[in-house]
A and B are shown apart, each in its own frame.
Chain A
Amino acid sequence: MAALSRALRLRLLLRSLLVQASWNYRTMQGAGLGFALIPALARLCRDDRAELAKSLRRHCGFFNAHPYLSTVAIAALARMELEGVDSEQVERFKRAIVSPLGSLGDRLVWARWRPLCSLLAFFIFLMGAPWWVAVGVFLASYNAVHLWLRVWGLRLGWREGREVGRALMGSPLRRLPDRLTIPLAAVSGAVVPLLALALGGTAGIGPLFTIGIALALAIAGYGRPGLAGRLAVLGLLVGSLAFVILGISIW
């Protein structure tokens, strides 16, 4: 199978950026998938408008995947269409690929990478960096992975075609979410004491009190985040307020 032409690849990639534009409860990203596939389908059905209409309508049915990894499906579907795979197989492939793409993308991007980038930016700001540096770090780090995922997905989808599900199962990307939990846990832990210091300084609370509160909140919040943790934080808050309101000075 020949490589995708650079122009077609670029058009598929750019259109994948808008795959969620018309997200709806009925077909979810269906119209977005059809929109993204228009260049490939138009190339395939250059002289057959009826076939183009039929293909487009088929692809505008239900589809939903992680938006950044939708390029995997877009490229694989483009290849299947250009290879002339029959429509029933294409539909089966679409139904089968939705879950792996959603699961991998949600765990990797929404649940790990985005929180890590956000907390890292806040951590940098709390350490004294200018606000625009923190914002720049967030945008650069987050979008580097975001855009890489889209390009990687496009290449993988085109290379593997209908076998892309198997390639995803063996991909090193599957282990990445677990590895990201380490920096995510460390940065989220570091944010609380620094936030306590910053807020305490503005509110005129002394450092000893700040350190105590931060430590107690960190232990209560991270150690027992369920109902017990909520009660612990509530108790801590009520106790601290009592100290403050009664004017008891411990710093």
Chain B
Amino acid sequence: MISRPIVAAPLAGLLLGDPISGMWAGAVLEILSLRQLPIGASRGWDTGPAAVAAATAALGWEAGPEALLVAAAYGVAVGWVGSWSVHGLRHLNARLVAGDAAALESPMRLTGRHLSALVLDLLRAAGLTGAAVICWVLLEGVHGVAVPARAGTVAALVILSVVSLGLGVDVRMMARGRRVWRAAGVGAALGVVIGLWLR
């Protein structure tokens, strides 16, 4: 589970010298990816490379939520590309372990092919992550545009809306009929917010 955004992004941030920004990017991506249930042959966006890409893009997001918004969007885009690479790998795996009947009769050959698939996945994810980081570094050359006034506020509201709506849909799907408990959670946290404000 180190490929989950809430783990991979802060760890990538730590390597890059800013784990807090990585944590923020990872948390937003994590919430956006909650509804992806890897059931059967379903194929959600690839969270590991997405998290590292978002952590790279989020470096120094203390400048404002706009950087976090851009980072999350970049992470989702990389994750979406990743999902297509997973699709390709699954076809390749079919040829590797399901195409050659003789390979399935020998423990040594089966083990070799099974573990080869693991190595291929590692190479796929590493290649995608590396490409995503390089692309971001190249993009940063044009990133230094002047940020319009109030862009941070707009970005904060967009992130909040997306996260709130995403959580609403997810909780409806995963915790149907628990409105009272949802309301209790919202109320408790609002109490904390108001308490902090009054203090």
A195 adjacent to chain B (CB < 8 Å): yes
| Cα distance A87–B96 in the bound complex, in angstroms | 25
B137 adjacent to chain A (CB < 8 Å): no
Nearest-Cβ distance from residue B2 to partner chain A, whole angstroms: 8
- Chain A residue numbers with a CB within 8 Å of B111 are 35, 38
Q: Which residues in chain A, 18-69, are within 8 Å of chain B measured between CB atoms?
A: 18, 21-28, 30-32, 34-35, 38, 41-42, 52-54, 56-57, 60, 64
B142 adjacent to chain A (CB < 8 Å): no
- Chain A residue numbers with a CB within 8 Å of B23 are 125, 131, 134-135
- Chain A residue numbers with a CB within 8 Å of B110 are 31, 34-35, 38, 56, 60
| Cα distance A121–B24 in the bound complex, in angstroms | 12
Q: Is the CB of B93 within 8 A of A24?
A: yes
Most chain B beta-carbon contacts within 10 A, residue among A196, A200, A214, A215: A196
- Residue of B whose beta carbon sits closest to that of A191: B167
Q: Is the CB of B163 within 8 A of A195?
A: yes
- Residue of A whose beta carbon sits closest to that of B173: A111
| Cα distance A38–B113 in the bound complex, in angstroms | 14
| Cα distance A220–B166 in the bound complex, in angstroms | 11
- Residue of A whose beta carbon sits closest to that of B37: A110
Q: Which of B158, B189, B196 contacts A237 (CB 8 A)?
A: B158
Sorting the interface of chain A by its residue count into under 10, 10 to 19, 20 to 34 or 35 or more gives 35 or more
- Chain B residue numbers with a CB within 8 Å of A210 are 193
- Chain B residue numbers with a CB within 8 Å of A121 are 6
Determine, out of B27-35, B72-80, B125-133, the stretch whose residues face the partner at the interface.
B27-35
Q: Is the CB of A202 within 8 A of B152?
A: yes
Q: Is the CB of A215 within 8 A of B190?
A: yes
Nearest-Cβ distance from residue B101 to partner chain A, whole angstroms: 7
Q: Is the CB of B105 within 8 A of A190?
A: no
Determine, out of A1-9, A88-96, A139-147, the stretch whose residues face the partner at the interface.
A139-147
Nearest-Cβ distance from residue A209 to partner chain B, whole angstroms: 9
A21 with B158, Cβ < 8 A, contacts A138-B7, A194-B192, A196-B193 known? no
A172 adjacent to chain B (CB < 8 Å): no
| Cα distance A34–B155 in the bound complex, in angstroms | 50
Q: Which residues in chain B, 97-143, are within 8 Å of chain A measured between CB atoms?
A: 97-99, 101, 104-107, 110-111, 113-115, 117-118, 121
- Residue of A whose beta carbon sits closest to that of B27: A122
A188 with B118, Cβ < 8 A, contacts A28-B41, A60-B110, A199-B156 known? no
Nearest-Cβ distance from residue B191 to partner chain A, whole angstroms: 9
> Main secondary structure on chain B at its contact with chain A?
helix
A151 adjacent to chain B (CB < 8 Å): no
Q: Is the CB of A115 within 8 A of B165?
A: no
B186 adjacent to chain A (CB < 8 Å): yes
- Chain A residue numbers with a CB within 8 Å of B106 are 53, 56
| Cα distance A199–B31 in the bound complex, in angstroms | 15
| Cα distance A146–B39 in the bound complex, in angstroms | 17
| Cα distance A213–B62 in the bound complex, in angstroms | 22
- Chain A residue numbers with a CB within 8 Å of B150 are 244-245
Question: Which A residues contact B (CB, under 8 angstroms)?
Answer: 18, 21-28, 30-32, 34-35, 38, 41-42, 52-54, 56-57, 60, 64, 102, 106, 110-112, 114-115, 118-119, 121-122, 125, 127, 131-132, 134-135, 138-139, 142-143, 146, 181-197, 199-200, 202-205, 207-208, 210-211, 213-215, 217-218, 220-223, 225, 229-230, 233-234, 236-237, 240-241, 244-245
- Known contacts A139-B1, A221-B164; 17 additional CB pairs below 8 A are A22-B117, A31-B117, A38-B110, A111-B173, A118-B4, A122-B6, A122-B27, A132-B19, A135-B10, A181-B178, A191-B31, A192-B167, A194-B193, A199-B160, A203-B156, A218-B164, A221-B168
A/B interface sample: 15 pairs, CB < 8 A: A21-B117, A24-B94, A25-B90, A56-B106, A111-B37, A185-B171, A186-B184, A189-B184, A189-B185, A194-B192, A195-B163, A207-B197, A211-B190, A217-B160, A222-B167
Which 4 A-B pairs give the minimum distances between C-beta atoms? A189-B185, A221-B168, A22-B117, A53-B105
